Structure 1
Amino acid sequence: MSNVMDVQTQDNLQYQFYPVSSGSVQFKVRAANDAHLALTMAPQESDPMYEVFIGGWGNSKSVIRRNRTKPDKVEADTPGILNGGEFRGFWVRWDGGVVSAGREGEVIPFISWTDPEPFPVAFVGVCTGWGASGSWKIEDGAEFNTPDKLEYKFGPVAAGSLQFDYRGPHNAHICLTPAPAEINPMYEIILGGWENTQSVIRHCREKPDKVTIPTPGIMNPNEFRKFLIEWKCGRLLVRDGNSGAVLMEWVDPAPFPVTHFGVRTGYGARGHWRISHFSAPGSPPPSAPVAAPLYSSPPGYPGGPVGGAGQWVDAANGQLPPGAVPGGQDCNGEPIFVARAQHEGATIPGKLVQSHGCAFVPWGGMEHSKPQYQVLVGGPNNWVPTNGSAIPPGAFPGGASEDGETLFVGRVRHEGSLTTGKVQQSHGVCYISFGGQELGFPDYEVLVS
């Protein structure tokens, strides 16, 4: 059994992205031609990226493309494969670098290609175009089992929530991590532990537990129980999935970006799970505010419009306005955008990674999460290498320190990421927020108009 999400795509070739936790996606699509799928590491059209075009070129052939470049890696003649009047079922798989697509009910793919340099796929995007709109039914939340073995099975998350159903006698364990592995930092939620008598929130596998509550009989081996876990800017909530009542709550004073979840069972329990990766009912992903009120900066923000080269646009809770300026990428490949926020009387350039649900700015040796922030929209994307206090001509001003010193927008490479932050000329470094800390680097790139 699985959950099916209905998606409508317009004739505009704009992908809508959703997370995936396994190496395949099954779907039905009704379109006259050009049903396009993208497989990416982040919920955005960015490289590395596989694209599978089904029924392109007037519904005559299908291709696989990598990184939006030609020539296509492989093509197959598929005349009449799509139909604008009825749903047709397909599957797309990726495993060990082999990307393939096939028809529902058929084991042999109609198109396949092996990538010599594969990358981990965490999101699938769908779109239509070239004169066609589409209706999609995408399967999600397939059931799976966890054995009586304390080993996590991991999957990606796209937003600050995870909904699941669990059937088992006790000990449903869920972890939230910055990578698909059991590493610190991590949050752990244990539901129905201690022979189905209590539940806890644990941080970095350390005791004492952050929260402990009595929950006698919370789990049942004969029926599914529904739960919802939410996290935003360090606030962790565990809810009853039916009533929405908060079961447990804890605020982490030093939050970290959550990119993956894991589930497991143990201590004599086997579990049956249904995981919903798309979104919680009644909680659609945030959309950008309408343009009209965005272009006026709130009191205390210097500048507002910046010399015609860009706008600082108000946003909150992971919102990403159209035209946001990309600045780099997180350790997991998700894009980082240029953002800024107020802190302790300063307006500080920092970073926005959408899945975190907030922006982060460096100040006072620490990383500070900000649910309210501004994003640079329509501005420059020219990065010039420099070091120390050598600010190049035309450097883009991004804010001001609490003492009134101009802060510029910079970025550095650190532990597999390319992270944006603030350049403070009097200090001779670019500061970034990373892993709960403010880190300074004498060699960096600065954004130039």
Structure 2
Amino acid sequence: MANVMDVQTEDNLKYQFYPVSNGSVQFKVRAPNDAHIALTMGPHETDPMYEIFIGGWGNTKSVIRRNRTTPDKVESQTPGILNAGEFRGFWIRWDNGIISAGREGEAIPFVSWVDDQPFPIAFVGVCTGWGATGSWKIEDGQEFNTEDKLEYKFGPTAAGSLEFDFRGPHNCHVCLTSGPAEADPMYEIIIGGWENTQSVIRYCRQKPDKVSVPTPGIMNPNEFKKILIEWRCGRLLVRDRVNGAVIMEWVDPNPFPITHFGVRTGWGARGHWRIKHFNGTSRETLPPTAPPPSQAAMYAYPPGYPSSAPFGGAGGAPVWVDASGGQVPPGAVQGGQDVSGEPLFVIRASHEGAMLPGKLVPSHGCAYIPWGGKEHAKPQYQVLVGGPNNWVPVSGTNIPPGAVPGGESEDGEPLYIGRVRHEGSITTGKVQQSHGVCYISFAGEEIAHPDYEILVA
């Protein structure tokens, strides 16, 4: 259901510009060499701007350039990265001055650079040159209408969220399912039902509704309402994207994997939708887990990739590597997996004077740590790289010899890295010996487990 813009670029190095609404763009390009991408503040080629050249210099290397000036900020050898006979998929991301480009299905960029004077990016431009013409498929939002009949239109979800605008008098219906069909198990979110007076969350088309809240006048036939639906570990959250207010919330104690969404209107209502469901890494392109030792060389840092320590290497001394925005450094220690099957990685992050171990969920673009009874999202964090991946079952205050330190509490007590099985997940968190438990963050809460596994060198 994603709207894919088909674009043709000639051999003239003239950018064609398109607006972007978040910190990434995903595309496929078919070209023999020199696929050029520009990131700008406006729909024209003017400073400030970033340029990412993929497959330049006869399809041998890729670079990042700022303001069309040389020398290039960073370059990476990428022989044969483009192909004139087939489409190759890529992503570009920008976050707090970190500009990165990577291949579809890979979490680690092949070229990355940190700008200490970043600017807001609102447009992306594409072009080809130096003897190359190109065909592009650029993923964007989908805009379409629904008729006055209770029949869902389905599309694949991005991991963990659905962002859309809806214009209609009432009865905005969204379902979340495990396939492109109206079949159980499924969640239904009805916004502005009952003549635009009430909104509900329903499970498997059954009553009573799991959640029912009064929302008089929430929808409008003359203007778009901006909505965000998020799901994680069984927790459904419906938000107003303008002010961030929570419209509805419910936690399913037995969640199922969500792979598709459906939209419809009915009961006398027609709807106009704009759906933006690409949100970084999609479910079909989950980032790779930590590579085995034989592949470690393939995952060396690309030039310019931000880090605070060298790659430790599997089985070597562990190090903590600075990262942000869902980045997974090469050699990251995988500590478990989410209920969706997505790998979770061992991290730590500072909070309220403490350094706390937790979990990284790459598709969410952040890490999470437990503290004060709640789960706290951290866009900046440190990832454990290299070293062991040995997990020893323990309980209570029994900290075994060789337990890997993960940080310290606000009172200076050492904290260790633990993990537990919880509601279909294997989730990493912090072990605090004086409390005799492993704390994990899950579905917005800090949860204590007296029986857990601890990471040991």
Match of 1:328 among 333, 336, 355: 336
Residue 424 in structure 1 maps to residue 437 in structure 2: no
SS of 2:359's equivalent in the other structure is: strand
1:133-166 CA-to-partner distances (Å, cap 9, x unmatched) read: x965377749685773397967422365524566
CA distance in 1 between counterparts of 2:144 and 2:220 reads 25
SS of 2:391's equivalent in the other structure is: strand
Give how far 1:228 is off. 5.8
What corresponds to 2:308 in structure 1?
Answer: 295
What corresponds to 2:171 in structure 1?
Answer: 171
Give how far 1:262 is off. 4.9
1:361-411 CA-to-partner distances (Å, cap 9, x unmatched) read: 2234x3322234413142324122221233333221111123322111111
Match of 1:441 among 434, 437, 449: 449
Residue pair 1:162, 1:230 contacting (<8 A) in 2 also:
yes
Change (3 A) 1:226 1:402: closer
Change (3 A) 1:358 1:88: closer
CA distance in 1 between counterparts of 2:106 and 2:6 reads 12
What corresponds to 2:157 in structure 1?
Answer: 156
Equivalent AA in structure 2 for residue 218 of structure 1: N
Equivalent AA in structure 1 for residue 159 of structure 2: A
What corresponds to 2:398 in structure 1?
Answer: 390
CA distance in 2 between counterparts of 1:400 and 1:406 reads 4
1:295-328 CA-to-partner distances (Å, cap 9, x unmatched) read: 29xxxxxxxxxx952114152xx43242233211
Residue pair 1:339, 1:352 contacting (<8 A) in 2 also:
yes
Give how far 1:428 is off. 3.2
Equivalent AA in structure 1 for residue 341 of structure 2: G
What corresponds to 2:383 in structure 1?
Answer: 376
Match of 1:250 among 246, 251, 254: 246
SS of 2:363's equivalent in the other structure is: helix
SS of 1:431's equivalent in the other structure is: strand
CA distance in 2 between counterparts of 1:349 and 1:126 reads 25
Residue 266 in structure 1 maps to residue 275 in structure 2: no
1:45-60 equivalent positions in 2, closer than 5 A: none
Residue 402 in structure 1 maps to residue 413 in structure 2: no
RMSD of the alignment, in Å?
A: 5.3
Change (3 A) 1:294 1:160: farther
Give how far 1:447 is off. 1.9
CA distance in 2 between counterparts of 1:164 and 1:216 reads 11
Change (3 A) 1:189 1:338: farther
Equivalent AA in structure 2 for residue 158 of structure 1: A
Change (3 A) 1:226 1:290: farther
SS of 2:428's equivalent in the other structure is: strand
1:313-324 equivalent positions in 2, closer than 5 A: 313-315=322-324, 318-323=325-330, 324=332
Give how far 1:170 is off. 3.5
Change (3 A) 1:402 1:137: same
Residue pair 1:259, 1:355 contacting (<8 A) in 2 also:
no
What corresponds to 2:127 in structure 1?
Answer: none
CA distance in 2 between counterparts of 1:87 and 1:179 reads 29
CA distance in 1 between counterparts of 2:422 and 2:328 reads 26
CA distance in 1 between counterparts of 2:415 and 2:250 reads 24
1:230-249 CA-to-partner distances (Å, cap 9, x unmatched) read: 7699996545xxxxxx3773
SS of 1:404's equivalent in the other structure is: coil
CA distance in 2 between counterparts of 1:177 and 1:403 reads 45
Change (3 A) 1:189 1:397: farther
Change (3 A) 1:426 1:292: same
Residue pair 2:148, 2:267 contacting (<8 A) in 1 also:
no
CA distance in 1 between counterparts of 2:447 and 2:403 reads 21
Give how far 1:335 is off. 1.5
Match of 1:311 among 315, 320, 327: 320
Comparing 416-425 and 355-364, the one that deviates more: 355-364
Equivalent AA in structure 2 for residue 424 of structure 1: Q
1:13-45 CA-to-partner distances (Å, cap 9, x unmatched) read: xxxxxxxxxxxxxx986368xxxxxxxxxxxxx
CA distance in 2 between counterparts of 1:427 and 1:143 reads 54
Change (3 A) 1:271 1:292: closer
Match of 1:217 among 218, 221, 232: 221
Give how far 1:350 is off. 1.2
Which segments of 5 or more consecutive residues in structure 2 lack a partner in the other structure? 8-26, 33-81, 89-103, 111-133, 203-208, 281-300, 310-315
CA distance in 2 between counterparts of 1:404 and 1:174 reads 48
Residue pair 2:189, 2:200 contacting (<8 A) in 1 also:
yes
Residue pair 2:166, 2:172 contacting (<8 A) in 1 also:
no
Give how far 1:441 is off. 3.0
Residue pair 1:198, 1:216 contacting (<8 A) in 2 also:
no
CA distance in 2 between counterparts of 1:254 and 1:149 reads 24
Which segments of 5 or more consecutive residues in structure 1 lack a partner in the other structure? 8-26, 33-82, 90-123, 220-224, 240-245, 281-287, 297-306
Residue pair 2:392, 2:455 contacting (<8 A) in 1 also:
no
Residue pair 1:179, 1:332 contacting (<8 A) in 2 also:
no
What corresponds to 2:313 in structure 1?
Answer: none
Give how far 1:349 is off. 1.0
What corresponds to 1:242 in structure 2?
Answer: none
1:280-309 CA-to-partner distances (Å, cap 9, x unmatched) read: 9xxxxxxx999687529xxxxxxxxxx952
Residue pair 1:340, 1:348 contacting (<8 A) in 2 also:
yes
SS of 1:426's equivalent in the other structure is: helix
SS of 2:435's equivalent in the other structure is: coil
Residue pair 1:341, 1:373 contacting (<8 A) in 2 also:
yes
Equivalent AA in structure 2 for residue 249 of structure 1: A
CA distance in 2 between counterparts of 1:352 and 1:88 reads 31
